[in-house]
Structure 1
């Protein structure tokens, strides 16, 4: 039984042009014809179309606009546009917006039209064959649908709440349970926390725990971004409305439609941007730059702020309507200094990730190293901890990384709870006698030097300009103990 002819859709508002194209192609293709985009869409929904030839200038929706919809709904269909206009700007817009495979200009020659159609059909077939072979290799005997569903589930779990690392008794547990509840309700969520506490990861987890998990997740940090640039990124811009942009720019609000957009740095928004966003948050409407028409967006907004904005609302520095529209649900992320019990899990995970990324295998951190890390306040939160793990990995020579690799300012932190001891600058400017303040600094220097030199007292005494006896006396005076040992044996 011969194979069926490939199906091709011809779209043109002029009936004689459709008749001419059909005459040139009907021997080699099953031809469908439509006089406008609406008719063409209906045919696409009913038939398996491999190739589309579409006129650019048509009443109602243009060819570019129609093929843009085709790209989103039927991305495998090869799209070709026919135009009697050859302006460069139109060509660029079509390529960017609709993913055009090829242009044909009027008047076209029948042989040229037929050759283009055959090449497009071959491209469609090759893409389908490649996709089929890839699926066969990846899924083997397992069905495509079940494997795809497993992949979606793995994606949701891998980017969901399980990806927010914490210890079994972490203070984050209650917050995560609250976030799970918020995720299942399609309401805006505001996440408040210091820089580097993991607001983006939590926002992503809320998205992948929601009914929008199969839709796109986009994020943008508004901190330090000029209003003009932020407007373009969020709302988009029409061709020619902004210098340097030669094609329509699709903004994040449009790209995130039916998905989630995470706006971080909310507290830094200018009054102008607060006003612009208030209509999006309240009505779901926005206007691209240079456009005379408003657009609607069904986007879930998740926002991040470094501080609670209620005080700024009360003082008039932040719009109350925008705040209450975005804070229907709110989550307060604790800083890392309040999560000392999570340090071991986080640091080991970050270290192994860095080792895999840089091709330097290690087995982990020693218990003594973890204890030092747990005693530090981490003002930079997760980012500072990740940087420290990379630094330790760079200087490591053993598979188990010890405390001697830790940065000096971290080693100088006093043992006990994080922030149990003030910073050096605070010691210098604090109250107390000169002797008391000098002793606090001296004790930190001794602990840091001994740890960094792996408690080799001869080297420590030499570096500090002390005798062995003098060093031992200071160790006993300040009750500095080598981690994991009850007594300090005399070894070099």
Structure 2
């Protein structure tokens, strides 16, 4: 469906020109000659965006803007103002305009502004729809994800969390399986009860059994007193068993008994302890293969795998790299008391192109390191590890790679990103060095997927 754009301007030739340009771009354009007509139209039909002049005869753009946003608070409005009318632009932005452009209109800038506004509106609507699907009270517990794979995962969490089913979370190391477990517990009816976590790979078998089920005094050498186990601590709540595939067969048998009979015996004990605990388990292994190879009990696998959730690796959710990077940048600049504004385009390009075998954990580690090591107020490509930069980008002063077979577009992209890097991301200075307009540079970066 074509987006509906309302053009509001009391100058008929200017309005007609904008209609022609935007119609050619594939938009469905409606015209209004003054603010009062625009208010009436918004009250009667749907628009995706409004492009409105400030100075009009009957009702000016600012007053019309304020009235329109009372009717449709989320409607994006771009204000057109005469060159040098800074006060009008500031007033428009304070009143709720999403952007402003100056007359005479630069068509390329207008297209960028409209595209940006519509994209932002689409994301807002998608988030609102997701929130509606997940429910107003759904707590994503610090999960950052706007990509399609993560949205699907969040929807699955919203459905399984309110149940009392055991959950098996699968995913590579560093994908954030513990965050998913947190979200399940925080959105269950057990959320006000304990949420106990244990990494099954972090302890030897004998100690793991003691940690899970507790022990009596004298049960083994070093057991100088009675100890309560994690399952008892998690009574009426949830327990998260991370790296479940590392558990030894005898401990697996005890876990199976807890699931089937809701009871267990402490190490060295003779009486059973009753518990009501929801089990959330996770592994980075293919658990079904472990079953086939005899390393994991098949009956326990099916008891744990009532609901299976797969956490996508970072390479399959590239839309999340930028928001995750910005989140970690804010986190570690605050922690290390640094003033770092963001990433240069070349640095962000390298982050976007990396395969991320260590997933989100690797990304977080790299951002933290870069925050600590950079001497600039932006993260440059040279602040990133050599594994991301590659040998040909190890030094931005090296000649541009003109190897036969490279496309002109690739060479141009490398030259533009390097020039931006040299100017610390300043697009005006970079454009001057490259001998192109700032507008042309903006369009090139947009084509590269860098904003």
1:84-483 alignment runs, 5 A limit: 160-167=139-146, 169-412=147-390, 445-450=391-396, 456=397, 460=398, 471=399, 474=402, 478=406, 479-483=410-414
After TM superposition, where is structure 1 displaced by more than 3 Å over at least 4 residues in a row? 157-160, 471-484, 486-491
Given that residues 189 and 301 in structure 1 are in contact (C-alpha distance below 8 angstroms), is that contact kept between their aligned partners in structure 2? yes
Cα distance in 2 between the residues matched to 1:405 and 1:473: 21
User: Superposition RMSD on alpha carbons, in Å?
Assistant: 2.5
Cα distance in 1 between the residues matched to 2:216 and 2:138: 34
Cα distance in 2 between the residues matched to 1:245 and 1:282: 28
The alpha-carbon distance between structure 1 residues 484 and 162, as it changes in their structure 2 partners (threshold 3 A), is farther
CA shift, 1:484, in A, is: 7.7
Cα distance in 1 between the residues matched to 2:220 and 2:374: 51
CA shift, 1:303, in A, is: 0.1
Who is 2:68 aligned against? none
Cα distance in 1 between the residues matched to 2:138 and 2:358: 23
Return the TM-score normalized by structure 1: 0.54
CA shift, 1:406, in A, is: 1.1
Unaligned runs of 5+ in 2: 1-135, 420-432, 436-451
Given that residues 366 and 403 in structure 1 are in contact (C-alpha distance below 8 angstroms), is that contact kept between their aligned partners in structure 2? yes
Given that residues 314 and 359 in structure 2 are in contact (C-alpha distance below 8 angstroms), is that contact kept between their aligned partners in structure 1? yes
Cα distance in 1 between the residues matched to 2:140 and 2:274: 30
The alpha-carbon distance between structure 1 residues 473 and 279, as it changes in their structure 2 partners (threshold 3 A), is closer
CA shift, 1:448, in A, is: 3.2
Aligned length: 284
Given that residues 166 and 342 in structure 1 are in contact (C-alpha distance below 8 angstroms), is that contact kept between their aligned partners in structure 2? yes
Cα distance in 1 between the residues matched to 2:137 and 2:347: 28
The alpha-carbon distance between structure 1 residues 393 and 446, as it changes in their structure 2 partners (threshold 3 A), is same
Cα distance in 1 between the residues matched to 2:287 and 2:354: 28
Q: Please give the per-residue CA displacement for 1:256-305, whole angstroms capped at 9, x wherever unaligned.
A: 00011000101112222211211112221111112110111101000001
Who is 1:83 aligned against? none
Unaligned runs of 5+ in 1: 1-156, 413-444, 451-455, 461-470
Cα distance in 2 between the residues matched to 1:308 and 1:473: 42
Given that residues 368 and 484 in structure 1 are in contact (C-alpha distance below 8 angstroms), is that contact kept between their aligned partners in structure 2? no
Given that residues 159 and 204 in structure 1 are in contact (C-alpha distance below 8 angstroms), is that contact kept between their aligned partners in structure 2? no
Given that residues 326 and 342 in structure 2 are in contact (C-alpha distance below 8 angstroms), is that contact kept between their aligned partners in structure 1? yes
Cα distance in 2 between the residues matched to 1:402 and 1:306: 33
CA shift, 1:486, in A, is: 8.7
CA shift, 1:363, in A, is: 2.1
User: Computing the radius of gyration over CA atoms, which structure comes out larger, 1 or 2?
Assistant: 1
Cα distance in 1 between the residues matched to 2:339 and 2:180: 29
Cα distance in 2 between the residues matched to 1:274 and 1:223: 13
The alpha-carbon distance between structure 1 residues 224 and 215, as it changes in their structure 2 partners (threshold 3 A), is closer
The alpha-carbon distance between structure 1 residues 159 and 220, as it changes in their structure 2 partners (threshold 3 A), is farther
